[in-house]
Every structure is written in structure tokens, then in C-alpha cells.
Structure 1
Amino acid sequence: MTDTKAAAWTGGVNSLGFAKSPADTRVVAAMSGGVDSSVVAAMLKAEGYDVIGITLQLYDHGAAIEKKGACCAGQDIHDARNVADQIGIPHYVLDYESRFREQVMEDFADTYLAGSTPIPCIRCNQTVKFSDLLRTAKELGADCLATGHYIRRTDGDAGPELHRAADASRDQSYFLFATTREQLDYIRFPLGGLPKTEVRELADQFNLPVAAKPDSQDICFVPEGSYAKVVEKLRPGSGRGGEIVHLDGRVLGQHEGVIHYTIGQRRGLNVAVGEPLFVVKIDAPNRRVVVGPREALMTSGLLLEELNWLGAGSLEAAADAGAPVLVRVRSTRPPVPGRLGWQGDIPVIWFDEPEEGVARGQAAVLYDPTGGTQILGGGFILKAIPADERVVAA
């Protein structure tokens, strides 16, 4: 068990990396109302830090209060306040609803309508949490912002580095690749070296009212996992139908809107041609869903946009040299070998072996191939380069 009791400071660097006592170190703890962020606040308070808890109200808590397992809604704000009261720290709730709607929800809807597959949790970390909240923490005179994410921040020779969590089953590096060098210098992740089981034990040890609370599973503003319903609510009339077309040009049927489909989807196509069919392309401007055999999903490379580079040296030097990397294209998949490069002036990743079912709009996260734990950066997938050129002709 991690020793969370405050000890007399004897000089040197404290546990958050500052050359001063915990009592002289102000920390803003981002408190979502869940177990992880609550344990972070309690740990830091027990170690003697000057802790301020902040909870963000991100969407209409009145509409979301009945949705269990979400974050940043009515019950969660109540839980965060109770934890702060119990451990004896000041707690503030900031109304970020308009920012969240504009920067995350609107982007989510527009990305789906463009035929891409968004990852709103990345946008939320990238904008509301690690930009707006970070700025608020600095305005409060905090030395750092601490969160309950499972990822490790270490001090390397060239500055702070981002590494995968010690508990691989909880690692959240896929959702945090967009953390910039400047943000990484300010943010701390106290749970990065702990297994989830120990975090639960700490919640019990601190007697936190959320100790038995289940982890959130869904996107917070997507009730019942229905992405299409959210898009239709944000963009009325977006569910316009169109054709389901085979790669060979045959029209196989009709659909009720491209927002109901994503690359690699097999179920719910409602067409039958005697072979398994998968969604291999979404032609949003023409409202067409293109389907084909599984081998048509194979991609040899990815063009990336908004690439954030955290590795040594520059992105330009790494891409010019064809630097080897490990690439993760989905949070549930292990990283696979590849190389950096260019296609024109756009960064590209070439896979050593073709990868399946990669969707535009998703993230490609890059890791150091020598150890596999350091996050070198990543970007959003602008285009998948097909191994089967029939997709290009569709």
C-alpha cells in the first residue's frame, strides 16, 4: 500500500517534483466525482499539499442526472463536493457548459456528418480540461494541475516525458496524446504508477463516499450509447438517407443516414449478397455508404493532421529519417510497428504490416519502439492509404 500520510519535509524535491515543501505547493485537483480523481485529491491532501478541488459542469445536469456511469453531471458534482468536504479542501464548480458544447459536442456532430469517426474524450482533454481548466488553475496561483488519469509523467533529459500507465489495463495514453509540451510541464498524474486495485483500496482507506462507485464507461453526453440520436439532436435533419453501394458499383440498398455507420461496421447493413460485407468507406457529401469484403479494410498507411510531437528532436527530423515507431489506431488494440514519413508535406505513418478497419477522424498514437512506454505524440487520421486500391476507385 502506498504511504499517504504526511511526513515532515526534509528538503529537496517533493513528490510532485517541486523544490519546496508540500505545504508551500498549491495544487488544483480536477475532481469529476469519480473514484480516481477523488483519490488523487485525498492523497495530495494527506501528503500536506495546499489542495483546491475544481469540478467542471460540462452539460445539462438536469437532463443527465438519471444517466448512471457518466461524469461531470448532477450526481457527480454532488459526489465531488462531498469528497472535498470530507477531506477538508475548498471546492469550486465551474460552469463550462457553453465551452464544452462548442469545443466538444459541436465538433462531435460535425465530424460525424463529414463521414469521420470522432473521439470526443480526446477533444475534451485537449480543449476544456487541459486548456481552459489549466488556465484557471494558473489564475488561482497553483503550481500544478493534478488529474486522475492513468498515465505517467517522468522527467527526462530533454524535459518531461509522457509514458503509458504502469497498469496496462487502465492506460489512458490513447486519449492523452494531444497533451502539449507546455501542458505536460504543468500537469501531474499521481495515479500513473498505481494499479486500479490499489486505488480502490486507497478510496476505502480514506473512507471516501465514492469508494464503491462504478467507473464511467460511456461518453458523458451520449445517452444509451446512441451517437446518431445526439447528432440528430444537435443537427436536426442530419439523418437524410442515401444508397448503400458495393465497391464494384452495385447499389445494394438504402440507408437512413451516414451518421449510423462507421468504418469496419458489419452489423445493421440490412443487405445480403451471399458474402460478409463491411463498411469500407463513407461518402458523406453524396450520402453513400460503401461496402465490401473484409480485405478491403486493410490499410498500408495513414495521413495525419494536428500531429502533436513529444519525442526527442523535431517531428520534421524524425519523419525525414523514417523513424521507427509503434502505432496504436484504437484504444483497445495493441500498438503495431510502423515508420514515420511524408506524403507531400503531410505526415504519414507506414505500417510494417497492413492494419484493418482504420477510420478517418480517429487517432493514431505513436510510441517509442525501444521500450514501448513513452508516448512520442500522435495525430488525427486524415486519410487511410488502402492496401487494396479498389477502395480508391469507389
Structure 2
Amino acid sequence: MRAVHFGAGNIGRGFIGSLLAASGYQVVFVDVNEQIVRLLKERGAYRVIVAGERQEEQWVRGVSALNSQTEREHVMEAIAAADLVTTAVGPHILPAIAPVIAAGLERRFTVHQQPLHVIACENMIGGTETLKTHVFAHLSAAGRQLADEHVGFLNCAVDRIVPNQTSDDPLAVTVEPFFEWAIETRNVIGAVPPIQGAHFVADLGPYIERKLFTVNTGHALAAYLGYQKQYQTVQEAMKDSGIRTSVEQALGESGAVLVKKHGWNEEEHRSYIETTIGRFINPSLSDDIVRVARSPIRKLGPNDRLIAPAVQYYTLFDSVPSGLVKGIAALLRFDEPSDAEAAALQQTIEQSGVEGALRQYAGLEHDHPLVVAVKEEYAQMKQMDLR
């Protein structure tokens, strides 16, 4: 079996590529980083360090790589011969890789019409559907018809913490033991692609929301509250009993929303929360707070990790979720100079106040009870400023 994977970064090598190789695929990484591409070609293997209670070293073998800028023809040939195409490039790069994927599909259809699955493993909702839209924009009318018949674009949800890398080896990558790769079966052509460790689900929505409202929500709270106390890593912040209590409270609130909406078993979800907390305090990892906290405007969006569960909690229970409110207030206090969104957010707050920022970025009107509560929490944080 052959897989073409776009993105030879830490997630690509340490998560997706690793699982594909373990599943028996010959993996061809496609990237623009010439050093990484060259080393993958030369070595044909790389190390993955699983950082748990005891570090475990795994070797991923039988891999190769192509430079998408200088070896476009070879990339097209690889897609034409592939059984699976995956990506882990970042949502903003999907439009850039769509033309070569489309060209590869056009070439494939002239040779054979065997089923192919495409899975975009990005930290976004509907990533593969987004990629499909970009790819179809570059296909001929005949190519679009053949792709509809023979190419299954499968949405997925991925979850694995890949911390800051400290190895001298450019190919070595450290990852946490936990991972989840949920793939929606709705658009499968024929049989599901064999992927060790992945699980296939009929409806991806609840899995995406569970991750967003638990992992992303908790990560964000730890980072924004930790930034207020000048901690450097999420792991340091979670050693602070006050921050840990706030994170647990917020996840209890977002968890109540999930249990109510999806009819989940409360104890099972509590176990998932405890597993998530355990991931945040893993002493073998080092999650930089500024990295986790960056892009606060995006993370303040109405469908994102803090506002969405807070609004849904208020709607379902007619009560203000104080843990989530604390996280939102801490986000509004994030003023990291190196982050362009943080600078823009602070300028908005200076000009329009907290309520103006929440109206502009979160879609909340000034008289919404959440806005009132966030303003109060923000004022308290400002008064107790430790920086």
C-alpha cells in the first residue's frame, strides 16, 4: 500500500506518518523544507520518542520524501499511484497544495480509476471538505465527475500533543503517548482504508466538539491563566493549584454541555476529562504558553473553544459558567508583543472596551450576561495584575 502525506512537520512525522507506516503503507512525505526532504530521502527512516512515564523510542522506516516545489512531476506520479493521500500542513496551506493534488488526480484518471481516499488531518472543522473545494477548483469538468465517483474525501478529527522539540536530530520528533484519530465514514469509496490506531465513525460532529470543548478549552485556559502569572509552560501552570482548579471547573462546565447535548455517560466523560488533565501535566512534555495562547482573536470566535461552550452552557442551564468566564477574561488580558492578533485585540479593547471586543470577535451583545460577567472578571484580573 502507498500513501502520500503532505506536511513532513512534527505532526506529520510524529503522528500521521508514524501510524501510516505502522499500518503497512510506504509513506512518501511531500514538503517544501529542503533539509527535511533531503534527510528523509537519505535515511529512509526517523525516530519518534513517546514521552510518557518512561520514554519509548520508535523507528519509522520505509519512508521517502519529495519537494513539492522542485519535484512537482514526481508528486503527481505518487498521487496517481497512491492508495491514500493525507495532509498535516495547517489550514492556511490547504489552498497551496490543492493544485498539485488536482494535477495528480487528473493523471491518475488517465491511467486507472481505483478508489482513493483523501484525509486532511488539520486542526479545523471540515478540513477535508475544505481541501476538496480547493482541489475541485483546479479539476476539469471530467476530472470532477471522476473524483466524485472514485475519490472519497473523508473528514476527520485528530488529537495529539507534539511539544517544543529539543533534539539535535532534525528528523527526530517527541510526542505524547495519547492520540486520537477519528475518521468519518460518510464518503468512503468501497472499503475503509486500513489505518492502525484510527477509528471510523458515522458522525464526526460529537468527536470534534468533545475535543474542542475539552482538550482545546483546557489547553487555552491553562495557557491564558498561566500567562497572567508569567509561567513559561503549560506544565508549570498546571502545577499552580489555583490554575488547575480553574481548568477543572471550566472542563466540568463544558462537559455538562456535552453530556446534555449528546446524551453521553457522565462518568465516561469525567474519565475523558481526567485523561486530558493528565496530558497537560505530563512532566516529559514542555508546552510553551505563548505558542498555545497565540491567535487570541481566532480563539475568541463564536464557534471556538471558549465562547461556544460558554454560550451553550448559559442557554442550556440559564446560568453563567464562571470557570469559562475566567478563561475568556484571561484571553482578553493576553498582550504578548510578538503576537499580531494579541496586539490587535488590545487595541480594540483600548478603543471599544471589553464589551466592544466581545461584540466584534465573539458576536455577543453588551447586555448578554456572559459579557457582564467577563467584564467583572477582567476588571478583577486587571486590579490584581501580577506582571
Q: TM-score, normalised to structure 1's length?
A: 0.28
Which structure has more RCO (C-alpha within 8 Å, separation ≥ 6)?
A: 1
TM-score normalised by the chain length of structure 2 = 0.29
**Greater helix content:** 2
Structure having the higher strand fraction is 1
